[in-house]
Chains A and B, each alone.
Chain A
Amino acid sequence: AQKVTQAQTEISVVEKEDVTLDCVYETRDTTYYLFWYKQPPSGELVFLIRRNSFDEQNEISGRYSWNFQKSTSSFNFTITASQVVDSAVYFCALSAPSGGYQKVTFGIGTKLQVIP
């Protein structure tokens, strides 16, 4: 069985603050993939990043950074100097083999509100 936990259902920050969104996952597989998606108020789902289980390098893309730690089964997402446009629901997802198919499990999402 695989599971993704996003314990923070809603977070509010003031613009320019840094914020970290937590993601904890469970899987018995040694090969798996982790993802973050963004869902802005307009409703579409946008892919942000993909990580495989063998690559624990942290990644930085502009104001976004991701910290993958296998030892704690976590894949956390940090936004530096948050902006109002970052207001969205963010989903963490796990993809792992299941019956010849890559099963994808999403967390329930973290709603981030950035207050101007």
Chain B
Amino acid sequence: NAGVTQTPKFRVLKTGQSMTLLCAQDMNHEYMYWYRQDPGMGLRLIHYSVGEGTTAKGEVPDGYNVSRLKKQNFLLGLESAAPSQTSVYFCASSLPYGHEQFFGPGTRLTVL
């Protein structure tokens, strides 16, 4: 089992460029999440999904969009990247009802 995988691991963008981060899990989990981690701010939830075809906003959703067309995949899109979106992005998945989350290895994104 690969667990949770993220693609790519690193990316450098110029302001205004777009990109998509891919998260895949092979644990048949219903819930999936996208977080960003910034120094001194812990993990902040961007968007989440409680099942295939459903998504919802988290704490810091502005500037991001997501899609969950297949249960095992959760995509995070940046339509027009800004320097404020420079961060480390983590994807996670879990069973419902308060189970622990399993995290991917992270994607380090720099927006110049």
Contact = CB atoms under 8 A, between A and B. Distances in A.
Given A52-B98, A101-B56, A44 B105 contact: yes
Interface string B33-76: 10100001111110010100000100000000000000000000
A21 to B, nearest CB: 14
Contacts of A50: 98-100
Contacts of A91: 42-43
B98 A33 contact: yes
B61 to A, nearest CB: 14
A34 B103 CA distance: 17
Given A32-B98, A44-B105, A47-B100, A104 B42 contact: no
The 9 A-B residue pairs with the shortest CB-CB distance, nearest first, are: A33-B98, A108-B42, A45-B103, A106-B43, A47-B100, A95-B98, A106-B42, A50-B100, A102-B98
29 contacts: A9-B40, A32-B98, A33-B98, A35-B100, A43-B88, A44-B103, A44-B106, A45-B90, A45-B92, A45-B101, A45-B103, A46-B103, A47-B100, A47-B101, A47-B102, A50-B100, A91-B42, A91-B43, A102-B96, A102-B98, A104-B33, A104-B101, A106-B35, A106-B44, A107-B42, A108-B40, A108-B41, A108-B42, A109-B42
Interface of B: 31, 33, 35, 40-45, 48, 50, 56, 88, 90, 92, 96-103, 105-106
